[in-house]
Amino acid sequence: MSESPVKKAVERCRGLGLRRTRALEELLATLIEAKRPMTLSELASSARLADQCDKATVYRLLQRLTGHGVLRRLGLHERAAYFTLLQPGKHSDYLICTGCGKIESITAPCPVHDLEEEIRETTGYKGLYHELEFFGTCPKCA
């Protein structure tokens, strides 16, 4: 029987020296279940976290997890940040609207996987990864 994605994420956090807390578990579970990037406000008001902790606690968790490379921060600097869980072996690229700030995952094959592998082989870098974001105006804003 394989380990649940939440348990894997919690164990990864523990391996990085982070304490296992109920808030951490609920935050990770919320991001995994959402299957899309979420804002601080969306996370803090989610069913799993609203009664568990306050917005400041969620913010501190997001900052800590981003700093440890567990989460990825997406978005435009002048707009709300979106957060998504980085899961080993899973990869997502995103479209970001410069008008409304909407973020959506791209379902097309990633064009830089081969390049990443070539760079890994030629440089000897370990744990190499990339992040790809495309910016433009969504159909609704255009």
| Banded model confidence at residue 1, pLDDT cuts 50, 70, 90 | low
Task: List the domain boundaries for the chain.
Answer: 1-88, 91-142
Q: The tokens of 138 are what?
A: 């969504």
DSSP conformational letter for 110:
P
CB-based contact 101:79 (threshold 8 Å): yes
| Banded model confidence at residue 108, pLDDT cuts 50, 70, 90 | confident
pLDDT tens-digit map of 50-87: 988 999 999 999 999 999 999 999 877 677 789 999 87
Q: Where are the alpha helices (DSSP H) in 35-128?
A: 40-44, 55-67, 113-123
Instruction: Confirm or reject CATH 1.10.357.10 for domain 1-88, answering yes or no.
Output: no
Measured distance CA(106)–CA(93) in Å, rounded? 6
Q: What is the mean pLDDT of the chain?
A: 88
pLDDT value for 109: 81
pLDDT value for 17: 94
pLDDT tens-digit map of 23-52: 999 999 999 999 789 999 999 999 999 988
pLDDT value for 62: 96
pTM: 0.81
Q: Does this chain's domain 1-88 share its CATH topology with 91-142?
A: no
Q: Which SS3 state, helix, strand or coil, does residue 67 take? A: helix
pLDDT value for 100: 87
Q: The tokens of 27 are what?
A: 């935050």
Backbone angles phi, psi at 95, to 5 degrees: -105, 130
Domain 91-142: which CATH class?
alpha beta
Element (H, E) at 28: helix 22-34
Of 5, 25, 13, nearest to 89 by C-alpha is: 5
